[in-house]
Amino acid sequence: MISSTGEIKYLLLADRAAPYLLARVRWPDVAQAITASCPDWLDDPGLFDLPYDQSSVTVSFAQAASVAAGWGRQLRSEPAHGAPALMRRMPANWSDLTPAERHGYGIEPMRRRRVSARRLRRLTSSRPDPSGGGSAANGRVQLANGVDGAGSSAPERRRYVRVRVDGRAHIQSGPHTISAPLVDLNEGGVRCVLPDAPLLLAPGARLDGPFLLEAEVTTSRICLDVPGRISWSQSMRAGTHFGVMFADLDDSKTEGVQRFVLAAGRGRGPR
């Protein structure tokens, strides 16, 4: 469990839940950002407006460090000195970057193809509901089986098929970031495992978010800026497994989860 540190705020911009810009801001002396294509810190006074922009997501130091590591940058607690500056002629609009801003940060126009319907159907309907009561419709599988065991809550109802994924979840709750290996994931929630689960992971506990999920093999990462709650927990020989139920995801975040599942769960079957 890692506590948030310092006065610097760390913020992400994401497209379909995939982070593409990481910033650190502290008024009035720190306004820096990096991207996957521009991993060297860039000073930008327009970043002082970023914490007030609805498109930004505030993350913990641990979550920011995970994103930076994926872009080949080790995140340190102190700001970079002597970084080049981005010259501006207008106020920043982080919800709609100008061509000059995209060029300065090496960001390609964010127009990605949607996940093909054929691949999603294959992902969500490759196995029937083990309880025998599920039905596949509109690419979704209805499941009613729950998880019982020591410390578990009422049976969890799932609307989506779970897919095994290899990776890690960095879950923010209050001043803490919980880092746990991923077990499986779908658009409704995630299952993780820890050797010893802290008390705040008791069934029914609320998690503030955001949730940063990273794949083990690929460079895929998603940041879901939604709250969640612990839906169940179960002690096993390998550790304590716990399920997290996300709040409702909008279409963009749902597509982000689908893209992540296809990348992180490639070669693994649904459950």
Quickly state the pLDDT bin for 130 (edges 50, 70, 90): very low
CB contact burial 158-194 (16+ within 10 A = b; e otherwise): bebbbbbbbbbbbbbbeebbbbbebbbbbbbbbbbbb
Q: What is the pLDDT of residues 41-85, one digit of tens each?
A: 999 999 999 999 999 999 999 999 999 999 999 999 899 999 999
CA atoms within 13 A on the CB side of 179: 13
Q: Name the residue type at position 85.
A: A
DSSP designation for 81: S
* Separation between Cα atoms, residue 5 and residue 65, nearest integer Å: 12
How much is the pLDDT for 271?
54
Q: What is the pLDDT of residues 166-193, one digit of tens each?
A: 999 999 988 889 999 999 999 999 999 9
Report residue 24 as tokens: 């650190």
Which pTM value belongs to this model? 0.79
Report residue 262 as tokens: 């296809």
* DSSP-derived 3-state class of residue 45: helix
Domains along the chain with CATH numbers = 2-105 (no CATH), 117-264 (2.40.10.220)
Instruction: Specify the residue for token string 């989506």.
Output: 160
Quickly state the pLDDT bin for 112 (edges 50, 70, 90): low
* DSSP-derived 3-state class of residue 245: strand
E-strand spans in 97-152? 136-137, 140-141
Q: Which of 215, 169, 172 is nearest to 10 (CA)?
A: 172
Q: What is the pLDDT of residues 246-269, one digit of tens each?
A: 999 999 999 999 999 988 866 554
Average pLDDT, the chain: 81
Q: Which of 199-203, 214-218, 253-257 has the highest mean pLDDT?
A: 253-257
* Separation between Cα atoms, residue 99 and residue 118, nearest integer Å: 34
- Whether residue 192 contacts residue 166, with contact meaning beta carbons closer than 8 Å, is answered with no
